[in-house]
Structure formats: structure tokens, C-alpha cells
Amino acid sequence: MPAIVNNHNFLYFDSLIRNQRANSILSFIMATYHSKDNVGHVDQEKVARRLIDAYNLFRNDIRKSETGSGNYPGTIEKFKKQYTLGREFGVWTGKDLNLSYLAEKVAKQEITIREYLSIALFNFVEPVNQKMINPLKIVFEGMINNGLDTIDTNKVKYFFEQNEIPVDPIDETTGENKKNNNALNSLYDLLENTVFFTYNAENKTLTYCFPKPLNEVIAKFNTHYLCDDGFNLAKTEIGNDQEKYCQYLLKDVLHIQNKWEETKMGNCLDITLHPRTDTTHPVNQILYGAPGTGKTYSTAELAMAIIKREPFKLSASAEERQQILAQYNRCISVGKIVFTTFHQSYGYEEFIQGLRPDTDSSTLSFKTTDGVFKQIADRAMSDGENNYVIIIDEINRGNISKIFGELITLIEEDKRWGEPNQLNVTLPSGEVFAVPNNLYIVGTMNSADKSISLIDTALRRRFSFVEQKPDSSLILDLSLKKLLENLNNQLVKDLNSTDLLIGHSYFINKSIDDLPFIFNSSIIPLLYEYYFDNRKKVLSIINSVLDSDKFKVIDDNVGRLRIEEIRQ
């Protein structure tokens, strides 16, 4: 966790002055996590490059060349100037850029960035006038001493003044405070991004919203790090047991957070939502098409378009795709987007609500546990101003009626909570439940899967279906492009169905030299399925599209057909 910064005569909060908001910390974590080599080492150049390309953290330093491409001079040098941000907020355990215990949990989406920052602020120790302080502890104590549960920047400044801690640097010439409020505003911004406060944008205030009283939360601080004479002590011992301390905080904060969410949500009867006015996207839609047409690939862009209330379009470049994925992952980390996959063992208990063993109990007992859909529905219900998205991959692979249960009625557009005909149901647990009109359901369905469950008729009429067609224009190799077009034309003619086609993804970023691998590992197995293992039919379709001067079909009678390149 955080390192000790150099001593100052005012509230320095150095890292936050340079980079405000939780997204900066999240960018460091994700850039580091995705820059590991095969043995787990992290390269500074890769981290810096990812921060530039994927997270645009240093966008003011990027110059556009005459060709329009980004040019970033002095990557390592610029990165090192930002290094203390990650060190002070516990992203790395050392100069080797290994992610800390908590940062790994953020990268793996086990905790949110808000939970991470809450614990990081518990650990943030700053020397001011040779005295160790924790800014979060001072704010909490100030709220208790002044009987406040709502604060603004002036109140926070007053708390530090009460402790004789200047919040502004001293002008060396005049000896007076410069009054730039940089550190104060940065601290206030971080407080907004913790689980302890909710932000009121209208009057720019923070209200304490955590379920435990402030005095109980203050008891969680490790005062060993905050002793008055501990300046040198803290510099040498700050890291000795911090991981254990963080684990203790993490377990406690997450446990409280879960309870807090349960009590905060209440039920739909206590919440009023307004009818939906933005009809850019249907609330329920399914992307369907042949294998390899990019259905799952498209869901990230579609989900972000829904979140932003923008029309859906695929990224035009790899750089745009990376930026979208960075935003998408941030939305997942804060619970605005959920991704799940249906399968034949998937049930109502995993999706809506069910009983699970209570691992905290000393005896064998069970507790009611919300499924993935109910969790995001409750979050969306309590945040009616923003859109939420649940992505259900392979939606037709599950037992639809069993999984959805009463949702078949509740997900209908005019039955959503906030619409004129809003409905709610009582779950088996006795809890009242409704589906808010700001929760969007996006499913994907492989239209070639005839052997598995088809979409229930009652459910089908509640979804809009968007076809994903094979798109040969995305294939750069002209020979492969022509081959795919001929193959699909032949399949439509032979099978009289557009469901049983071959998608373009098998040929993306490939050349004609890769054709034997593509066919033998992907295309030929599909053709055997399409033609119900009819060897003659498969052979006929291959011969109709294959360049016989360059490739040949191998039929050894003891295995499936395969193709090989003819060597000259």
C-alpha cells in the first residue's frame, strides 16, 4: 500500500494534485495488469504505452504527426514523473511494478475501484510539519466533533484548520498561504469516490452514507502508523503488516458494503422512476447469426452505446476498440455492466435469487442470495438517472422458462418499473421485486444451434432481434474474402438457410497460407454439423470453393476430411 511522501508544512496530497479522480488510479492498475510477460514481469515501457494508447492518461503530451498518428516523446521519462501516484496509492509493491494485493483484486474485478480507494485512504499517511496525519481520519473526526453528516470543501478545510494543518503551500517571499486549494479539491474528489459518501451535484456536498457510525469506522484505523513521534518509525515499519491490515479492512468493508447495499436498495415500492424517453435502443434485444459473425465481440460496443445513450457502431480502429474496452471494463468494475453466459445447468437461483450455504455460520445453515440479474436490477433501480446493461451470452443454451421465471412478464417494455403499466412480483423469499426501465438486456444467440433450446415464444415477442451477418469486407486477404463469399453462397443454395453460414471472424487477420489450419480446425467441423456428418456433401462443398491448383483434399477414410497445400 502507499509509501510515505516527503515531509511538508501543509497538506500536500501530491499525487492527487497531478491526477484527479478514481479513473487515474484504475488506469494505472489495468495498464500494469495487462503489461505482464509470460513469467509475470512488467515492463515500464509497456505500462506507459498502454496508459497512452488505452487510457489516454497523458493525452496532453501526445502530438499528432502529419500522418495523424500519435507521437509520444520520452515515454519512460514521462512515466517516471507519474510514478509516485501509483506508489502512494498502493498500486505497486515496489519499483518492479508488481501489483499490490488490493490492486490485483481490482484488476480481476473482485472489488470495485471505490472499495479500493476507501481502503487506500485508510492507509494514506502523510507527514505535515514532522507529524504523521491521515487525511480521511481528520475528516471523520471533524464530522463527529461538529455533529455533521453532510460536508463541503469549506467544512473539510475547517477540519484541518482545527488541527492546525495548513491546506495551502506557504509563499517563501511573503510567508503567507498561496490559497490555491489544489490539495483540498483533490482530497474532496477522492472522498467522493469512496463507499463512505454520496455526492450531491446540485449543491456540491458529500453526505455520509455508510451503515456503521463514524466512531466505529474510525476504530478501524491503525493508529500505530499515526503516532506523534512516528515519522521515522513509519518510514521503516509502514510496510511490515500492511497486507494483513488491508485484508482485515477489505473483509470488513466488503461485508458492510454488501449489507449497506441490501438496506439502501429497499424495494421498488419506495422508488419512483420516470417513463423512458430515450428510445435509441430497445430495452431487450438479441444479436443472432451464424457462428463467427462477431456477436459476442460486438456486445462491448453495444453496451457502451447504451450507457452513453448513443447510436451503436463498431470501432473503426484498434485504438478506438481499446478505448471502448477500457471504458467497458470500468463500467463492469463499478457494476453498471454485467456479463454472464447461459448453459444447461444455469438456473433461477443463479439468475434471480436462491439459497446458498452460509459460510460465516458455525452450523449448517442457508441464506437467501441474490443472483446476477437481481443484483444489477437493484442497482439500476436505485440509480434511475443512468443506464445499466446485462449481457447474456448464448442465451438460448439455457432453459429459458426455468431461468427467467416471473421475469417473462416483468421485462416487457411497458411492464418495466417507471412505465405506465409497471408491475412487480413477490419472490419466494417474500421480497417485492420489479425490473427498472433503465436496465437493458442484451443477449447473443447462435442461429446454427438447432440441437439446443430455442427461444420461448412468450420470451421471443419481448425481444428485438438484430441479425449479425457474415461481413467479408472485414477480410483483408482478397483470396480469403472471395472464398468466404463463394462458400456462403454455396451453403445458402444447398441448405436453403441463412442460419447455417460461416462467419468472417475465422478469416480476420489471416492470409491464404493459413487456409489449411482454418479449414481443418474450424470450417470442416462446422460443415460436418451442417450436413449431419454426410461425408459426400462436405466433400462436394469443399471442392466447389477450393482452389485445386494450390490446395488438395485429403480423404484417408479413417478420419474426417482435411485439406493440405500442394507443394511445388
Please provide the average confidence, as pLDDT, over all residues in the chain.
77
Comparing 221-235, 257-271, 530-544, the range with the smallest average pLDDT is 221-235
Cell readout for 180 is: 490555491
Domain identity same for 498 and 447:
no
What distance in Å separates the CA atoms of residue 73 and residue 53, rounded to the nearest whole number? 13
Q: Let me know if residue 233 belongs to a domain.
A: yes
Q: Tell me which residue of 76, 90, 75, 80 sits closest to 5, measured CA to CA.
A: 90
Q: Are residues 441 and 489 in the same domain?
A: no
- At residue 402 the predicted structure's pLDDT band, cuts being 50, 70 and 90, is confident
What pLDDT digit, counting tens, does each position of 35-74 carry?
766 556 666 667 766 665 544 443 444 343 333 444 444 4
Model confidence band, residue 332 (pLDDT cutoffs 50, 70, 90)? confident
pLDDT above 50: residue 416: yes
Q: Is the pLDDT of residue 4 over 60?
A: no
Q: Do 443 and 499 lie in a common domain?
A: no
375 and 292, same structural domain? yes
Question: Residue-wise over 286-319: b if at least 16 C-beta within 10 A, else e?
Answer: bbbbbbbbbbbbbbbbbbbbbbeeeeeeeeeeee
Sign of CA dihedral 271, 274, 275, 280: negative
Say whether both 343 and 454 belong to one domain.
yes
Judged on CB neighbours under 10 Å (0-12, 13-18, 19+), 445 is buried
HEC readout, 238-264 = CCCCHHHHHHHHHHHHHHHHHHHHHHH
pLDDT value for 329: 81
Residue 230: predicted pLDDT: 39
Residue 239 lies in a domain: yes
Residue 8 inside a domain? The answer is no
Ranked by mean pLDDT, which of 12-21, 24-33, 121-130, 138-147 comes out on top?
138-147
Residue 249 pLDDT greater than 60, yes or no:
yes
Residue ending a domain, among 468, 500, 535, is 468
What confidence score (pLDDT) does residue 1 get? 44
Whether residue 129 is found in the same domain as residue 149: yes
Helix/strand number for the chain, H first, E second: 24, 18
Q: Which of 439, 468, 497 is the last residue of a domain?
A: 468
More confident residue, 211 or 227: 211
Q: Is residue 136 part of a domain?
A: yes
Given a cut of 90, whether residue 109 has pLDDT beyond it is: no
Q: What is the average pLDDT across 276-299? A: 91
More confident residue, 24 or 460: 460
- Regarding whether 187 and 65 lie in a shared domain, the answer is yes
In a domain, 378, yes or no: yes
**pLDDT band, residue 236 (cuts 50/70/90):** very low
332 vs 19, more confident: 332
Give me the pLDDT at residue 422, please: 93
501 and 452 in a common domain: no
Q: Same domain for 292 and 323?
A: yes
Q: How confident is the model at residue 377 (pLDDT cuts 50, 70, 90)?
A: very high
Q: Is residue 322 part of a domain?
A: yes
d(CA 408, CA 425): 11
Residues 237 and 330 grouped into a single domain: no
The secondary element (H helix, E strand) that includes residue 366 is: strand 366-370
Is 70 exceeded by the pLDDT of residue 317? yes
CA dist., res. 307 & res. 328, Å (int): 9
Q: Give the pLDDT score at 210.
A: 74
CA gap 348, 373 in Å, rounded? 10
CATH of the domain at 352: 3.40.50.300
Q: Which of 351-355, 459-463, 522-526 has the lowest mean pLDDT?
A: 459-463
Same domain, 347 and 401: yes
Amino acid 241: pLDDT: 60
Among 13, 7, 14, 11, smallest CA distance to 162 is for 11
pLDDT tens track for 117-145: 888 887 777 767 667 778 888 899 999 99
Domain that holds residue 94: 14-265
In a domain, 425, yes or no: yes
Least confident of 126-135, 164-173, 325-334: 164-173
Specify which of 211-215, 241-245, 300-304 reaches the highest per-range mean pLDDT: 300-304
The residue among 468, 488, 507 that closes a domain is: 468
Read off the pLDDT band of 452 (50, 70, 90).
Answer: very low
Radius of gyration of the chain (CA): 28
Q: Interior CA angle at 229 toward 228 and 232, to 5°? A: 125
pLDDT tier for residue 214 given thresholds of 50, 70 and 90: confident
Domain count, the chain: 3
412 and 436 co-located in one domain: yes
Asked whether the predicted pLDDT for residue 507 surpasses 90, the reply is yes
The answer as to whether 277 is a domain residue is: no
